Structures are given as C-alpha cells and as structure tokens.
Copies of this chain bind each other. A is one copy, B any other.
Amino acid sequence: MVERAVFFVSDQTGVTAETLGHSLITQFASQQFRQITLPFIDSDDKARDAVRTIDEVASGDALTPIVFSSMVQPELREIVKSSAGLHIDIFDAFLEPLAAELGQRPEFAPGRAHGMSNIEAYMQRIEATNFAMANDDGGVSRNYDAADVILIGVSRSGKTPTCLYLALQYGVYAANYPLTDDELENGELPDFLLQQKEKLFGLSIAPDRLREVRKERRPLGRYSTPQQVRFELREAGKIFRRYGIPNVDTTRFSIEEISSRILDSTGVERRVRP
C-alpha cells in the first residue's frame, strides 16, 4: 500500500496541528500515512524551507501530501499555504468567524496555546506531577488530604499513567493506591483510605487484558496466571460494590478516555486547561 505523507506544520510545538490532524486522518483507517512534524516554523525563511520540504515530498510521491498547519501569523500561513500539499489550517478556517463573534481582532501571537503564557498554570502542572509521583502506588507520602482523587485498583489496571496524565494535562492532584493481597483477602480498605472515601475512584479491567498487560512486565509466576488475575479482579469488584466506589472498566479505553471519564464522573475540576 502506498503511504501518503502527512505534515504537521506549526509556528510552535505542533501539538495542536498533530491533535487536529490525527483526529481527522484516523477517520480514514484503511489508508497508510507517513507523519512528519515541522515545529517552530516562526520566520519567513523557515516557512519557505518547510514549503520546500513539502514540495520535494510532493514531487517524489505518487500521492499529494496533506498539510495540517497551525500558523498564527497570517504572513507565515500564506507562505505555508503555497506548498503543493492539501492545506488545512485551524486559524485560517476559524479565526475570522471567532473574531467577528468576539468583536475583536485576534492578537496573532504565536506560542499562546502550548506556551509559557501562564506561569501559574505551569507551576500547577509541575506541582500536580510531583504530587502524583510522591503518591504513586500507595507511596511514602500518602498526602491524601491534598488529593483531588485517589485511584484504587489491582496492579496494572492503569492507575499510574492515568494519575500522571491527569497531572500533566489538567493539573489535577491524583494519588493512587494498589489493592494488594491484604485488602483483597479480607475485603476491607484501610482506615486512611476510608477517611477519604468520597475521593476514591476504582479502575477495573477485563481478566484477559490484565493478563496480557502483566505478562509484558513479568511473564512467569503467579502474577499473570488466569487464577490469580480472576481472583484479584473479583475481590476488587466486591470492594467497589461494598463501599459504593464509582469505577470504570479501562479495558477498551485509552489513557485520555479513562481520565476524561474520571473527571466527568467525579466532577473534579480541571485546574489548568490544555
């Protein structure tokens, strides 16, 4: 199958162009794409270099490249638009109608979206990340008073990446506590967790999926046997029901989806916005 080149061109990081472009091209799953990010295109010279790169690919490939761009400055955007690719730019499409509604000209200032425009937001994300690290896996700190949410679940149910994502993306203070044999065998949560019961949120996962994930880490031993995995998940489910802890089955969800569902279900407010 012939691969089509997809460029993400940005005067800044390229995160916005990547996110937008990825959402669109995943609607054409039967096609093959080769993805190239060209970030920090913030001068006339760099914009012309980007066009040259795209045009070289266009003349070598059988298929026209797709160019997702997020160029704030109109002059640079016009240069990028002159490439031989199909050009899709959010500022080109949406800045005018938005400016009309807001009754104000846009500021055409690059680096606002993912830039250091807000030092408080940056510190918030860093502090939330430190919190997640210190309170990972029932870690030493157990500073649960400061937590927005405390995830509980068996080993490898997705707690750590979800906590880190909530911290980095939203500045949310997320701790996690693993349900180990202690809790699973006697069916009780420790007092220091029950004191924070309203913050608890459970992660569950299908047994087959959990085995697959655990085998990646430790292929041998009881840890990833069908018996052990089924025992742990059954007992964890009983604990969620016993204490009325809201929970989500993470089997078919990505880290983004799990995180969004937790915020949606708990009503925890984002402290920063991406």
**A91 adjacent to B30 (CB under 8 Å):** no
Chain B positions within 8 Å of A113 at CB level: 19, 22-23, 26
A1-29 with Cβ < 8 A to chain B: 4, 12-16, 18-20, 22-29
Q: Taking the full assembly, how many copies of this chain does it contain? A: 2
Chain B positions within 8 Å of A274 at CB level: 15, 18-19, 22
Asked if A125 is at the interface (CB within 8 A of a chain B CB), the reply is: yes
Interface string of A36-73 (1 = CB under 8 A from B): 01011000000000000000000000001010001010
**A22 adjacent to B273 (CB under 8 Å):** yes
- A97-B86, A101-B64, A260-B14 known; A216 and B26 CB under 8 Å? no
Q: In the complex, A256→B18 CA distance in Å?
A: 12
User: Shortest distance in angstroms between A238's beta carbon and chain B's nearest beta carbon?
Assistant: 26
Asked if A108 is at the interface (CB within 8 A of a chain B CB), the reply is: yes
Interface string of A165-181 (1 = CB under 8 A from B): 10011000000000000
User: Shortest distance in angstroms between A115's beta carbon and chain B's nearest beta carbon?
Assistant: 6
- A88-B94, A101-B66 known; A16 and B12 CB under 8 Å? no
Chain B positions within 8 Å of A160 at CB level: 129-130, 133
**B13 adjacent to A16 (CB under 8 Å):** no
Asked if A109 is at the interface (CB within 8 A of a chain B CB), the reply is: yes
Residues of A within 8 A of B (CB): 4, 12-16, 18-20, 22-31, 35, 37, 39-40, 64, 66, 70, 72, 86, 88, 90-91, 93-95, 97-99, 101-102, 104, 106-109, 111-117, 122-123, 125-127, 129-130, 133, 136, 158, 160-161, 164-165, 168-169, 213, 216-217, 252-257, 259-261, 263-264, 270, 273-274
